């Protein structure tokens, strides 16, 4: 019943209801299938045989099987592998010395502000000292 070239319909799984061909017999229970389904190992209990037999070689390639299926007027959708787009590599920006110093001063002001707010009530004179640092 199950020989190489036998047309089948897959019953189980996400490829259920799709037609396929037996390409190779691996075991008493397992076969290799290809066609509308993905090319994969399959249990015989997950297949329902049809009357037709296609003439193909043992371990026929996917391209040959697509040609044979076209003769039966079954078109197989072929998906091209996506080309990986080149990602722009992250490059570290080299900062000038002026920019570096500017960032440092900003950081200092942030820290000084927090410290100054605490000290505001106690000593308002220190506020002037912190502003000098910014410049």
Question: Residue numbers of the site for another protein (CB under 8 A)?
Answer: 9, 11-14, 16-17, 48, 50
User: How far is residue 63's CA from residue 45's CA, in Å, rounded to a whole number?
Assistant: 27
User: How far is residue 29's CA from residue 13's CA, in Å, rounded to a whole number?
Assistant: 17
C-beta closer to another protein: residue 51 or 91: 51
128 three-class SS:
helix
Q: How far is the CB of 12 from another protein (least distance, A)?
A: 7
Show the tokens assigned to 56.
């193909």
Show the tokens assigned to 124.
């308002």
Q: How far is the CB of 28 from another protein (least distance, A)?
A: 21
Q: How far is the CB of 43 from another protein (least distance, A)?
A: 12
User: How far is residue 71's CA from residue 94's CA, in Å, rounded to a whole number?
Assistant: 63
C-beta closer to another protein: residue 45 or 114: 45
C-beta closer to another protein: residue 10 or 60: 10
């Amino acid at each position: 019943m199950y020989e190489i070239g036998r047309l089948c319909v897959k019953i189980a799984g996400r490829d259920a209801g799709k037609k396929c061909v037996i390409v190779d017999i691996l075991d008493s229970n397992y076969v290799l299938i290809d066609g509308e389904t993905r090319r994969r190992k399959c249990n015989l209990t997950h297949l329902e045989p049809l009357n037709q037999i296609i003439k193909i070689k043992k371990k026929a390639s996917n391209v040959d099987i697509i040609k044979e299926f076209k003769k039966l007027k079954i078109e197989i959708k072929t998906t091209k592998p996506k080309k990986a787009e080149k990602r722009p590599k992250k490059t570290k920006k080299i900062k000038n010395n002026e920019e570096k110093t500017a960032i440092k001063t900003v950081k200092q002001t942030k820290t000084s502000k927090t410290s100054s707010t605490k000290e505001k009530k106690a000593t308002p004179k220190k506020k002037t000292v912190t502003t000098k640092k910014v410049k």
